[in-house]
Amino acid sequence: MRKMTKLYITLCTLFFSLLSVAQQTPAPAQEQEIIIVGATAHIGNGEVIENAVIAFKDGKITEVASASEKNLDASNAKVIYAEGKHVYPGFIAPNSTLGLVEVDAVRASDDEDEIGSFLPHIRSIIAYNTESKIVESMRPNGVLLAQVTPRGGRISGTSSVVQLDAWNWEDAIVKEDDGIHLNWPNRFVKKGAWYDPKVGYKADEKYDEKVQEILSFFKQAKAFSKEGSSALNIPLEAMKGVFSGEKTVFIHVDAEKDILDVLHFKTEMQLGNVVIVGGKYAHQVADELVKHEVPVLVGRVHATPEADDDDYDLPYKLPRLLHEAGVLVGLENSGQMERMNARNLPFYAGTVAAHGLNKETALQLITLNAAKILGVDQNLGSLEVGKDATLFISEGDALDMMGNVLTHAFINGREVSLETHQTRLYERYKEKYAEQE
């Protein structure tokens, strides 16, 4: 029996060691100035420069201009000639569980949800796995940054913004503990099984009670932050940044009446930075969102309408409706298979562009707008002098599946690998079948 146990342990160890083969070694710091010449530069703020020159040194962008207007001194620089190609700022994936779960069925690799209800002190960043094979698979599509976000509970915990090429979570940090995530209760809940064609909705009789619980917790936390109490209360301590404006409150909510309750809650608690996450019906209260200066991270646009009387294309055009109303809009990807689907972020923006939004404006939803919402726009989100050289070169339109073919990608000026587990398998089997021809 003991021998069988040892054999079982050995086999399990071997299996998981094969699963956990490390990703590529993170790229070293930039040593030589790099100049990209001839590409079409999509700045990320709506501007486009044809035949552009983009230079960066020591991880920072030093030049963005038309190549026809510049006399280049490339004597000490590495020049990348990119005629016919396109340059973009690195795409940003907000509200993501990248690096928190590797295999759903393996509990030891699942760190997205902690036990409990009000958990602002749970920090997702310390569970972030830089060795994740899923994380490395984002880079070939241009997704170079993400907001690592916990799930579950009423307050899930605290998120952080990371770059996707790092040795460990300390190296990955772009903005640490940027905000807490509050799951607002639903006024109406589904009744019946999900597979029932007659499934409907009923009012949640405990809705008001749940809202009062949130109010009570925030009032207690606000009083704690003002009193400067010496008593140890870790959850309330983690809330201090909410009232000082250092942390954003990301409120996950969809229905229009629930969103109005959130805006009332923001006013009552005098919260500075609030972001709506999901917002399936945010367009119905867009004027109020503008009035309260509340941005929206729109949920996955590759979705079907929620209600029978919704427009068939509502998920596709929702970002455009909000943008036209004056709301600051970004895109997020939570939901089923969300980690692997995060690589489709640019194609969500492409879908929005196909449904009425200007393409460069659609690009902003996953670049500058996302950076503004996450509070990292001083250094990221657009190709501007002084900002981080986090960008990539694509052979074609990066918002289109056919055009999104990266040749180079840089994070803080470091040229990162575009190889992944999938590309290695592709090359392996391409050789196999080529031999059989």
Contact 138, 167 (CB under 8 A): no
Contact 275, 266 (CB under 8 A): no
Q: How confident is the model at residue 322 (pLDDT cuts 50, 70, 90)?
A: very high
The Cα-based distances of 192 to 130, 202, 210, 231, 255 in angstroms read: 40, 10, 22, 46, 20
- Set out the domains of the chain in order of their start, with CATH numbers: 22-90+382-419 (2.30.40.10), 92-380 (3.20.20.140)
Q: Tell whether the model's pLDDT for residue 231 goes beyond 90.
A: no
Contact 383, 43 (CB under 8 A): yes
**Residue 63, beta-bridge partner list:** 55
- The distance of Cα 207 from the centroid of its chain, to the nearest Å, equals 29
Contact 377, 145 (CB under 8 A): no
Model confidence, pTM: 0.91
158: helix, strand or coil: strand
Contact 249, 243 (CB under 8 A): no
Residue 306, pLDDT score: 86
Q: For the segment 148-207, what is each residue's pLDDT rounded down to a tens digit?
A: 999 999 999 999 999 999 999 999 999 999 999 999 999 988 777 767 766 777 888 899
**Residue 110, beta-bridge partner list:** 101
Percent over 70 (pLDDT), the chain:
92
Q: For the segment 39-50, what is each residue's pLDDT rounded down to a tens digit?
A: 999 999 999 999
186: helix, strand or coil: coil
Helix ranges (H only) for 285-384 are 286-291, 314-324, 338-341, 345-354, 359-364, 368-374
Q: For the segment 55-83, what is each residue's pLDDT rounded down to a tens digit?
A: 999 999 999 999 877 667 777 899 999 99
**Residue 253, beta-bridge partner list:** 278
CA angle in degrees (0–180, nearest 5) for 298-303-304: 120
CA angle in degrees (0–180, nearest 5) for 91-94-99: 95
Length of the chain: 437
What is the C-alpha separation between 340 and 135, in angstroms, rounded? 8
**Residue 162, beta-bridge partner list:** 146, 173
Q: How confident is the model at residue 422 (pLDDT cuts 50, 70, 90)?
A: confident
Q: pLDDT averaged over the chain? A: 91
A 10 A CB-CB count for 281 gives: 19
